[in-house]
Structures are given as structure tokens and as C-alpha cells.
Chain A
Amino acid sequence: MNCPECDANLKIPGDASVGEIISCPDCGADFEIASKNGAVCELKHAEKVGEDWGE
């Protein structure tokens, strides 16, 4: 599928799961896999690192 930001070709590994982050190799935008049905993925913009993120 293509990057929703810059239209570059996004290669999503077959074993990628919902909740994983995919980065566009061209524009660097980060997307979260929101849903996955076979090879069809729905992407949404990934959340930014928050002040409370971590362990």
C-alpha cells in the first residue's frame, strides 16, 4: 500500500500485527497498523512520544 502522507510505496511485513508502527522510508512519517485483514491494512497516524511514556 501507499504512504497516506507522501504516496511512497509502504512495504508492510506479512507478520506485522495490529498496534505495530510502520515508518515510511521516503518521508519518515510513522503510522500505526489500526486493523489488518489478510494483506489489507488500515493505517492511522502514530501517537507522538508522550511525557509519561516508558517503563
Chain B
Amino acid sequence: MPKLRIVFDRVRLEEKMLEEKAIELGHDTKMIDAKITNISTESKKNDFDFGDVVLERCVSYFRGLHITACLEFLDIPVFNKFEVANNCGNKMLTSLLLKKHNVPTPKTYFSFSSESAVETLEKQGYPLVIKPIIGSWGRGVILLKDRETADAIIEVRELTDGPLDRIFYLQEAIKRPPRDIRAIAVGDQVIAAMYRTSSGGFKTNIALGGEPVPCEITKDLEDICMKASKAVGGGILGIDIMEDEKRGFVVHEVNNTVEFKGLAKVAKRNIPKEMIEYAVSSAVR
């Protein structure tokens, strides 16, 4: 049986579910803490016990991305691959790839200074949604309803002035029901999907209290998810979809280290099992 390693930095319910399922399936399974792992340019695969395949499950995006680069340097198969993690971890790269591969996606505008961002807002009109290009759980995602709100948010960005604060990602506010769809794609299949209803505001993240409701995996949903998955490079992905009143499905995000405790409550298929079987079979192929 192939040896499976789960690289983590904080054990959430998802990592426990993955470990338990892998052991139940009979795999030699170990958890490896990224925080206490040292790798160098001189390292060799045999210096470590990374097994035959690694599931990278760090909650810190940059930590996960960089350890993935090191694991690939050691010729260890990792899910997701570095390229995929990089494409999904940065919302701007994701949007560009989705559009490039003809996946319906909200119109998104990129500006590289606060002056240009204001210019975009005034030209396109309000509301637009501003999102940090790196980050999750809906944090920093703000509906800019008017010039006053926009000025306030932009001023805060100027005060914090981190390198990523200078990249302005502004997205059209989709006219949609107060919910979105989260689908989990594993390889060439959608294994589970749910509606996430808003817990009050315009955000629908489960991390913010959005309620999971089962969603039928129709052919249209499967098709758009597969296109989105291919656009970012494939693997184990959480695809976020909105239902635009006029255009139908639009993909707004693809997540790399997918959280699934909400979806696992309503999914018919066993999510950790599907993830493990895909990783193992892809690695030994």
C-alpha cells in the first residue's frame, strides 16, 4: 500500500478526518508538522519520511505553498501541485486563468495604486466588491456601495501599506439569490456540492456562519467545475460558484486547501475517502 503523509501546521477537523480515513483504508499514514520541518538545497528524498504521496493541508497559504515547492524539489508527489496552489492562492491569477480558459467569471478590474482604483470605481460605477488578492474566509471582502465607503477602505489600505495592499482587485457585484455554491472537484469529478446561504450580510462563507444545504450536481454544474479545475491545473479543489440572474453559473474562486467540514455534513459521498484515493492513485500512476 502506498504511504500517505499529511503535511499540516494546525490540525483541524478536516485533517483528523483525512488521517482517520487513510488509516481505515489501510494506508501507512503519518502526520508531518510543517512548522518543525527543515529542508535545504542539500536535502535528499531519503533524508525524510515523506512517503509516496503528500497531502499538503497547511492553514497558512504561504507556508503550504513554500513547503510544496520544497517537496517537489525532493521529487515527492504533492496535492495540490505548487503551480495549482499558486494559481488558486492568488485571486488575481485565478480570475485571469478562468477568463483565459473561457470559464464564466465575474468581470474583475485590477488597479495598482489607490488613484487608479478610484478611477476604476468612478468609471465602472458602484457597487463593486473589493477583495484582498490573498486571503480566505471572506476576510477583507467588502461591498463598495458608494464613493464614501471606497475612500474609507482605500485610506485604510494606504495606512497598512503591505505589499499586497497595493494590488486592488475590484469585482462586479453579481445579481444573484442570497447564496452561492461550493463544489468539491477531485480529479475529473465533482464529488460534492452545497449551497451556502448568507448568514445576514452579502457574504456566504461557512466560516462566517453560512448554512450548508445540499446542492444537486447537474451536468451544467459539473461542466463549469471541470473547466475551472482545468484552468488552474487540476487536483483537489473547492470551487465557488454564483448564480447570476442573466448569465447563469459564474465561478468566482477556486480554493486550493479545501475545507469541507460543512459540506461533509450534507454530502452523499465520503469526501476524505475520495481525496485520499485520488491522491494515492495519481501518485502511483
Tell me whether A38 is interfacial, beta carbon within 8 Å: no
Report the minimum CB–CB distance from B164 to chain A (whole Å): 8
In the bound complex, what is the Cα–Cα distance between A53 and B64 (angstroms)?
10
Contact partner of B134 (CB less than 8 A), chosen from A17, A20, A21, A51, is A51
Assess whether A54 is in contact with B137, with CB atoms less than 8 Å apart: yes
Contact of A20 among B11, B255, B257 (CB under 8 A): B11
Number of B interface residues at 8 Å Cβ cutoff, please give it: 29
A22 to B60, CA, bound (A): 19
A18 to B8, CA, bound (A): 10
Given known A50-B60, A52-B60, contact A19–B8 (CB-CB < 8 A): yes
Contact B31 A51 (CB under 8 A): no
- A27 CB to closest chain B CB (Å) equals 20
Q: B10 touches which one: A19, A51, A52, A55 (CB < 8 A)? A: A19
Is B33 within 8 A of A55, CB to CB? no
- B258 at interface (Cβ–Cβ under 8 A)? yes
Indicate with 1 or 0, residue by residue over B24-35, a CB within 8 angstroms of chain A CB atoms. 000000010100
Q: Determine how close the nearest CB of chain B comes to the CB of A20; give it in whole angstroms.
A: 5
Q: Which residues from A are CB-within-8-Å of B255?
A: 54-55
Q: Is the CB of B11 within 8 A of A53?
A: no
Check if A19 sits within 8 Å of B33, measured CB to CB. yes
Within 8 A of A (CB), among B56-96: 59-63, 89
Tell me what chain A mostly uses at the interface: helix, strand, loop, or mixed: loop
Which chain A residues (1-55) contact chain B, with CB distance < 8 Å? Answer: 17-21, 32, 46-47, 50-55
Q: In the assembled complex, which residues on chain B have CB atoms less than 8 Å from the CB atom of A53?
A: 59-61, 136-137
In the bound complex, do residue B136 and residue A55 qualify as a contact, i.e. CB atoms below 8 Å apart?
yes
A53–B8 Cα distance when bound, in Å, is 12
B259, CB-defined interface residue at 8 Å? yes
Residue contact B31 to A55, C-beta cutoff 8 Å: no
- Residue of B10, B132, B134 near A47 (CB, 8 A) is B10
Question: For the complex, what is the distance from the CA of A19 to the CA of B136, rounded to whole Å?
Answer: 21
Q: Report whether B59 and A54 are in contact in the complex, using a CB–CB cutoff of 8 Å.
A: yes
Task: Choose one: B9, B63, B162, B238; the contact of A55 (CB below 8 Å).
Answer: B238
Q: Give Cα distance in the complex from A50 to B225, angstroms.
A: 29
With an 8 A cutoff between CB atoms, is B180 at the interface? no
CA distance A48 to B33 in the complex (A): 17
Q: What residue in chain B is nearest A16 (Cβ atoms)? A: B11
Q: A residues within 8 A CB of B15?
A: 19
What residues of chain B lie closer than 8 Å to A19, measured between beta carbons?
Answer: 8-11, 15, 31, 33
Check A55–B60 contact: CB distance below 8 A.
no
Known pairs A18-B11, A54-B59; list 8 more (Cβ under 8 Å): A17-B19, A18-B33, A19-B15, A21-B11, A52-B60, A52-B134, A52-B135, A54-B139
Provide a sorted-by-A list of 19 A–B residue pairs whose CB atoms are within 8 angstroms: A17-B11, A18-B11, A18-B33, A19-B9, A19-B11, A19-B31, A21-B10, A47-B9, A51-B162, A52-B63, A52-B135, A53-B59, A53-B60, A53-B137, A54-B59, A54-B255, A55-B238, A55-B257, A55-B258
Q: Which residues of B contact A (CB under 8 A)?
A: 8-11, 15-16, 19, 31, 33, 59-63, 89, 132, 134-137, 139, 162, 207, 238, 255-259
